[in-house]
Each structure stands twice: as C-alpha cells, then as structure tokens.
Amino acid sequence: MTIRAVVRGVGHYLPERVVANSEFEASLDTSDEWIRSRSGIERRHFAAEGQTTSDLAVRAARAALDDAGLAPDDIDAIILATSTADLTFPSAATMVQAALGMERGFAYDIQAVCAGFVYALANAHGMILSGQARRILVIGAETFSRIMDWTDRSTCVLFGDGAGALVLEAAEGSGDKSDRGILSVDLHSDGRHRDILYVDGGVSTNSTGHLRMQGKEVFRHAVEKLASTADSALDKAGMDHSEVDWIVPHQANLRIIKATAQKLGLSMDNVVVTVQDHGNTSAASIPLALSVGVERGQIREGDVLVTEAIGGGLAWGAVVLRW
C-alpha cells in the first residue's frame, strides 16, 4: 500500500477591484497594447485598502473547505505560500488558522516567491507521506500591489493580488502512476541570480522595499528552467508528455507559457491560462489557475497535471499530480 496526497477540494478568492491595463496610461508612459502584446495581461485585481494577504487567504481557504465538504477542525495543518505576509510575524498561516476558528493542528508560511505554491505542495506531500498530517490546506496568497514601485512601468503593470487553496488528503494508492494525487516533485534554487528579481528592502534592512526585476534575464531563465523541471518531474513520475492532460503553469507572461509548452511539445489546448485576467499573482497564481480551471470544466478528476513555476531566488520547480 502506498500513501498518496490527493486533492479533495479547491477554491479561490480575488479582490473586488479590477484594474484594466488602460488605467495605467494616465500615470505612466505605457499602453494597453504594450502590456497585452509583451505579457498577455489584460487586467488584474488589487486588494482594497486594509485588505491583507491573510484576508484573501481565508476567503480562498473557506472556498476550498466548502468544495471538500470539510470543516476547519477536519484539517491538521495549513501551509501558506506567500512573500507578502501581513506582518513580519506571526505567520499569515496562523492568522488564517485563527480566522477559520481552527483550534487544533499547526500552521506555517513558506517563502519561495513565485515558486512558493510548488514548494508548498512539495512540503505538504512530505508531511502527508511521513504521517505528520492527514489533511492539509495548501494556500497561495499574495498582495504584490503593496511592493510595487508605481513609477516603474517595467514592473508595476505586471502584478496582481489574489489567493487560491487546495485541500490535500492522505489516501491509499497502488503505488503506480494510475493513482490519484501527487506523483512526483522536482525543486531547484540558485541564489547566484538574486539580483535579477528581488525586493530592495526587508525587515533586516529596515524598510519594506519595492520589487525590482530585469525582465529579459528572468524571461531567459524561465523558459529554459521551467521546461527542464517539468521534464524532470515527468521522468520521476515515469510519464511522458503524451500522458499530460494539463500544464498549469505559473502565470507570469503568456509568451513564457507558450514557449514552455512548445519546448515540452504540448499544444496550448493543454494549458490552463489565466494570466490575462489575474496578471502575475506570484505564489497565488497556480492555485488560482487550478481553481479557475476546474470552474471552467477544463480540469476533471483523473486528469494528469503538471504545475511549474519560477521566481525570485531564483527558485523553481514542478509537481506532477493526477487530479
């Protein structure tokens, strides 16, 4: 008998305020046409004043619990991927735990920027396989609007706020690739690339800081590393490209998503794309895409999914799972 970490529920939340590309034209030397053609982004959501990352995460968590038909106390742990937690401490995850009224279990944050949700899935998988927890809420939630430099047109038009969540549950499997649940994990980081994507402030440097990015450089790394981590996760799962139903990529740039699919030899018909509506929501982008993909009727039980992401660090990775 093999234990698998199987998806039992999914949900998401997007803040009410939708900002179209054209809104940036009043304050920046940019255009809807430039943003669309270079990134595929058409609009994004921004959190309201006072609305924090844990607020968004709680809404997504409730939606995932409802979908799973579970109550907060049925959950053993919360793992929240974010780079924009409400406070330096406590973790946003413990705030979600309290807001849900969960009186047992344990909760913590994971920080791997845009790769955060892939890292969180990998972590939850390990927790379930080692018997530390049977049911885990895995959340990706961000308010990147709080770390934008609104005078920097090369970054501030690209990001958005939002949250998505999965409930993962231990289930018995046969140990082969026909099982539902997480089938393989592939993680990487390379800290030598710090300067191409970072925030120029933080607790230990005494400021909040703003996101800084050398877009072209990140783009170059993204296409190469995302295709190679997806390949290696598929290898570990004993699968080839023809067995993949959906790529659910980090939603940073439509051109990166297309180039990665092409490198993997997969059609865009097999890719869940939400970047046009959400922009880049960092660790929230994959669970948002999973939830929207299910809502649209794209992702169905039994489908083989490859999630892949890259972000600041650089940190990147992929997870293969059967939905």
When the beta carbons of 147 and 168 are compared against ligand UT7, the nearer one is 147
Residue 112 interacts with ligand UT7 (CB under 6 A)? no
> Which of these is catalytic: 12, 21, 114, 253?
114
Q: Which of 252, 288, 289, 294 binds ligand UT7 (CB under 6 A)?
A: 252
For residue 250, indicate whether it is catalytic.
yes
Q: Least distance in Å: CB of 24 to ligand UT7?
A: 7
Binding string to ligand UT7 for residues 263 to 302, with x set by CB under 6 A, is what? Answer: -----------------x----------------------
Contact stretch for ligand UT7 (CB under 6 A) within 69-77, 152-160, 170-178, 261-269: 152-160
> Which of these is catalytic: 21, 123, 253, 280?
280
Q: Supply the Cα-derived Rg of the chain in whole angstroms.
A: 18
| CA separation for the pair 52, 146 (Å, rounded) | 10
Residue 198 interacts with ligand UT7 (CB under 6 A)? no
Q: Which of 19, 25, 30, 188 binds ligand UT7 (CB under 6 A)?
A: 30
Residue 189 interacts with ligand UT7 (CB under 6 A)? no
Residue 215 interacts with ligand UT7 (CB under 6 A)? yes
When the beta carbons of 68 and 315 are compared against ligand UT7, the nearer one is 315
Three-class SS of the chain? CEEEEEEEEEEEECCCEEEEHHHHHHCCCCCHHHHHHHHCCCEEEECCCCCCHHHHHHHHHHHHHHHHCCCHHHCCEEEEECCCCCCCCCCHHHHHHHHCCCCCCEEEEECCHHHHHHHHHHHHHHHHHCCCCCEEEEEEEEEHHHHCCCCCHHHHCCECEEEEEEEEEEEEECCCCCCCEEEEEEEEECHHHHHHEEECCEHHHCECCCEEECHHHHHHHHHHHHHHHHHHHHHHCCCCHHHCCEEEECCCCHHHHHHHHHHCCCCHHHECCCHHHHCECHHHHHHHHHHHHHHCCCCCCCCEEEEEEEECCCEEEEEEEEC
Q: Which of 22, 154, 189, 270 binds ligand UT7 (CB under 6 A)?
A: 154
Contact stretch for ligand UT7 (CB under 6 A) within 6-14, 29-37, 87-95, 224-232: 29-37
For residue 210, indicate whether it is catalytic.
no
When the beta carbons of 179 and 186 are compared against ligand UT7, the nearer one is 186
For residue 280, indicate whether it is catalytic.
yes
Q: Which of 196, 256, 273, 315 binds ligand UT7 (CB under 6 A)?
A: 256
* CB 258 within 8 Å of CB 236: no
Residue 38 interacts with ligand UT7 (CB under 6 A)? yes
Which positions are catalytic?
114, 250, 280
Residues found near ligand UT7 in the complex (CB under 6 A): 30, 34-35, 38-39, 114, 153-154, 157, 215-216, 218-219, 222, 252-253, 256, 280, 310-311
